[in-house]
Amino acid sequence: MPRPVSPLPRIRLFATGGTIAGAQTAGRGYRAAALSIEALVAAVPQLSSLAQLDIEQVAKLGSQDMTETVWRKLAARTQAALDDPAIAGAVITHGTDTMEETGYFLNLVVHSEKPIVLVGAMRPATAMSADGPMNLFNAVAVAATPAARARGVLIVANDEIHFAREVAKTNTTQLGTFHSGHRGLAGLVNAGRPHFYAPPVRRHTAASEFVLTPRTALPRVDIVFAHAGMDRALIDAAVAAGARGLVIAGVGDGNLGAPALAACAAAVKNGVAVVRSSRTGGGVVERNIEIDDNRLGFIAADELNPQKARVLLILALTRTGDPRALQEMFTT
Ligand code: SIN
């Protein structure tokens, strides 16, 4: 007998580890990525009311160990899933520490209008009042609704829906760690009932210009954190280590002192792309305010924080090394 066709959407659920799959150890500690995706799904039987889930364990790590190799695998697996007409959307479980970077990477390289939702948790799965089960339930609900289409990669946590491009982790341990300071929330989700606000304005997913193939080499891009009394040593060390791009987490409006500035100017002359972002955690870094970007050949990060600027610069450098073309990518 043929199986009856389920009216529920089919969602591909990829797992990478993180605290959402964490298990407490003796004392105050816990081990991220201890539990399998099967165990996480079994803990939320209500998921079966939302979607048919196809599950796949892509990696099993704390997201501090996330690598470009795993990013590429996730991107390829997500693209393949969403190219399947039977699949309505994708959910990816992920540690919260670097979730914004993985989400933004996928936002730029996966070409699909179908929903892609990353989800994590701040408390391990075995902790008192773990937040993972509701976050997972909400993430699947968001991925299963057609209203989430064409919104780019989304991050669901703490009853909120964030755009991967806009969100940042802002607190070490608290549940409300994710903030989208500049452009606000993508929406809210109450016990599986999503409410969406305005769509994103910058290019993403189906409209992204970045195409990742197995042969695309991703260049080394380093982040250097600026501070009072900074010299040029770390900038020179990054260039010597082979960086093709540098993101400066500058003081204030993406500034840096004279010795570091001179090192960045020398790096540009040697073909290294230099992006000025800010260590402040908010605001726009504009061109040519205290630093003459036109003369020095620097790129302003616009509103991207240093870790997001690094993701974009890695991909942008696969297309061009021209500072003006790179700047255009940062503003679009
Ligand atoms: C991690 O990012 O893997 C650990 C922290 C978390 O998931 O909240």
Catalytic residue (one of 16, 19, 96, 102): 19
Ligand 1 centre from 315 Cα, in Å?
A: 25
Residue range 36-51: mean pLDDT, rounded: 98
* 9 Cβ inside 6 Å of ligand 1: no
| Residue 257 to residues 248, 251, 282, 291, Cα–Cα distance (Å) | 12, 9, 20, 10
The pLDDT of residue 35 is above 70: yes
The per-residue pLDDT for 27 is: 79
Which residue from 52, 43, 54 is spatially nearest to 14, judged by alpha carbons? 54
Percent of the chain scoring above 70 in pLDDT: 99
The pLDDT of residue 146 is above 80: yes
The pLDDT of residue 50 is above 70: yes
The per-residue pLDDT for 26 is: 81
* 124 Cβ inside 6 Å of ligand 1: no
Ligand 1 centre from 211 Cα, in Å?
A: 28
Looking at every residue in the chain, the average pLDDT score rounds to: 97
Q: What is the β-pairing status of strands 52-61 and 10-17?
A: parallel
Percent of the chain scoring above 90 in pLDDT: 96
| pTM to 2 decimal places | 0.97
Look up residue 78 and give its amino acid.
T
CA-closest residue to ligand 1 atom 2: 95
Contact 50, 144 (CB under 8 A): yes
What's the pLDDT tens digit per position in 147-190?
999 999 999 999 999 999 999 999 999 999 999 999 999 999 99
- Which is more confident, 78 or 3? 78
The pLDDT of residue 199 is above 90: yes
* 32 Cβ inside 6 Å of ligand 1: yes
Residue range 111-122: mean pLDDT, rounded: 98
Catalytic residue list contains 177: no
The per-residue pLDDT for 1 is: 64
* 132 Cβ inside 6 Å of ligand 1: no
> Which residue among 20, 92, 97, 119 is best mutated to probe the pocket of ligand 1, counting the most ligand atoms within 8 A of its Cβ?
97
What's the pLDDT tens digit per position in 212-254?
999 999 999 999 999 999 999 999 999 999 999 999 999 999 9
The pLDDT of residue 3 is above 70: no
The SS3 of residue 123 is: coil
CA-closest residue to ligand 1 atom 1: 95
Measured from the Cα of 62, ligand 1's closest atom is 3
* 63 Cβ inside 6 Å of ligand 1: yes
The per-residue pLDDT for 4 is: 66
Query: d(Cα 25, Cα 94) in Å, to the nearest integer?
Result: 20
The per-residue pLDDT for 243 is: 98
Q: What structural domains does the chain harbor?
A: 10-207 (3.40.50.1170), 221-331 (3.40.50.40)
